[in-house]
Structure 1
């Protein structure tokens, strides 16, 4: 195995023509240059220079190494420049996997902030619901995951994963605008015990069933869909009511739908998850910081 410092010194000796000239160029002493060249020759296993009078001539091995030295030093320089760009956040790639309402709200705002301050950092966006999004993180398919949990339905987090709370997202009820309860400032779930319900993703559906069971009734789930826009459309047409997070209200598309907070308040936790060792990667840490900043300004945080 060659020492890159020895290769660099060898290159300078060849360029300047002598150990003493290389020493002056590199700021070393001549004995230091001599020692480095002896160490390199031991690593090669054969002499690299022959002395012809006062001049130095390359051996066949030396000529072979010269042909590769430029490539080796060029590759090292390119690697150093790329690593410097990564650590100084001029470049970098971060794969973010988030659930749909986060991808529609938190993520775009965070990426906009990132593009302004660090345009060289590239973010690849994936979408999945928990707990599958957390599994993708552990499998190495993404670098940072946004997921949510509900009280009483919290998953175990693997030891190698760090959970970082971003915000608490208040749950709301979506009602057709003409619904009698739409005139209230807040709504109790028990007031909706006789309604038909539109359930969301598996985790949201489980929370709906859990909260209703805690209050002594089982909701009549008429429809279930992972698509927030479909939920809104079904509510708008009077086909049921729905429990959704406040994040969804920021991209509500139907004028015939009214959102009302629950009384008493119920919230879900929105968290970022990252492998512990990835917290030390500058680009990943930067994306996490931008997500924190955006989440701090959202409703329910």
Structure 2
């Protein structure tokens, strides 16, 4: 409703008692101050000053506005300082949703760098698998989502999202260390047709079944879990074996489990997504950059 410039000028007129003195204090011309006060009076719909001799007297409306001028300007200044802090990365918040293996491998380095370089920026992390994480992003429930797709099974990203390709993640087979295939550097799925299998999340399971069909068999899936620690424990215990992305090998917790590359070599693609309009938000752009750097470092490991 009010132009903040007019409010500041009004405050100075009240303080100094005249348009001329206010103009001197503000570095304006007297006609410029007069025009601003007329514009403010048009905005409020009534007179704010009356002339008494050579001076000015506040009307009842002017008195009412005076009581609120300082709080209005103080609030605007606080807002300006907060916006400036966000723009200069002294504060801000970024909500990120990532699938578990990325949350365990890519994000810790990225989040740590943000904390060191910009301690005022808060990063909130939640876990989610695509496409649920991308739907959450499109609904505004997070600011960045990490997702993946498999060959022939592209992730269905809403049009309003912008994607940044982070890395290729080769697929591996988790085996007990005493398994005969563990002596090989890589294994063919077809050679594992008679094994019992542990499947992962719905999206990974769909591709796994497809890959097995390409290898000429239907896998005997004895259980399913999207918890990587549970999956490793099941493999270690001999319940079954599992096809997992190589990122999982970065946090193997069992010395009785080992991983071998799958032949023919298959890789899933890992992406970071954000709303296109949010790429201009400094904290979001910063975290996307750090995620990209962290993913590149994972490729070099």
- Aligned partners of 1:66, 1:40: CA distance in 2, in Å? 13
Is it true that 1:241 corresponds to 2:255 in the alignment?
A: no
- Aligned partners of 2:83, 2:55: CA distance in 1, in Å? 40
Task: State the partner residue of 1:151.
Answer: 151
SS in 2 for 1:285: helix
SS in 1 for 2:153: coil
SS in 2 for 1:73: helix
Matches within 5 A, 1:96-107: 96-107=96-107
Task: State the partner residue of 1:65.
Answer: 65
- Aligned partners of 2:131, 2:158: CA distance in 1, in Å? 12
Q: CA deviation at 1:299?
A: 3.3
- Aligned partners of 2:155, 2:249: CA distance in 1, in Å? 26
| Cα shift readout 1:60-105 (whole Å, capped 9, x = no counterpart) | 1111110011111111111111111111111111111111111111
Task: State the partner residue of 2:284.
Answer: 284
- Aligned partners of 1:127, 1:152: CA distance in 2, in Å? 25
SS in 1 for 2:96: strand
Task: State the partner residue of 1:163.
Answer: 163
- Aligned partners of 2:265, 2:221: CA distance in 1, in Å? 22
Q: Is the 8 A contact 2:150 2:269 kept in 1?
A: yes
Task: State the partner residue of 1:187.
Answer: 187
- Aligned partners of 1:228, 1:219: CA distance in 2, in Å? 20
- Aligned partners of 1:156, 1:223: CA distance in 2, in Å? 27
SS in 1 for 2:207: helix
Q: CA RMSD in A?
A: 1.3
- Aligned partners of 2:251, 2:294: CA distance in 1, in Å? 16
User: What TM-score does the superposition give when structure 1 sets the normalisation length?
Assistant: 0.97
**Structure 2 unaligned residues grouped into runs of 5+:** none
- Aligned partners of 1:49, 1:70: CA distance in 2, in Å? 18
Task: State the partner residue of 1:89.
Answer: 89
Which consecutive aligned stretches of 4+ in structure 1 deviate over 6 angstroms post-superposition? Answer: none
Q: CA deviation at 1:50?
A: 2.0
Matches within 5 A, 1:172-211: 172-211=172-211
- Aligned partners of 2:49, 2:139: CA distance in 1, in Å? 52
Q: Is the 8 A contact 2:94 2:123 kept in 1?
A: yes
Task: State the partner residue of 2:258.
Answer: 258
Q: CA deviation at 1:55?
A: 2.1
Q: Is the 8 A contact 1:149 1:269 kept in 2?
A: yes
Task: State the partner residue of 2:38.
Answer: 38
Q: Is the 8 A contact 1:48 1:58 kept in 2?
A: yes
User: What TM-score does the superposition give when structure 2 sets the normalisation length?
Assistant: 0.97
**Structure 1 unaligned residues grouped into runs of 5+:** none
Q: Is the 8 A contact 2:182 2:258 kept in 1?
A: yes
Deviates more, 1:19-28 or 1:168-177: 19-28
SS in 2 for 1:262: strand
- How many residue pairs were aligned? 301
- Aligned partners of 2:275, 2:299: CA distance in 1, in Å? 28
SS in 1 for 2:218: coil
SS in 2 for 1:84: helix
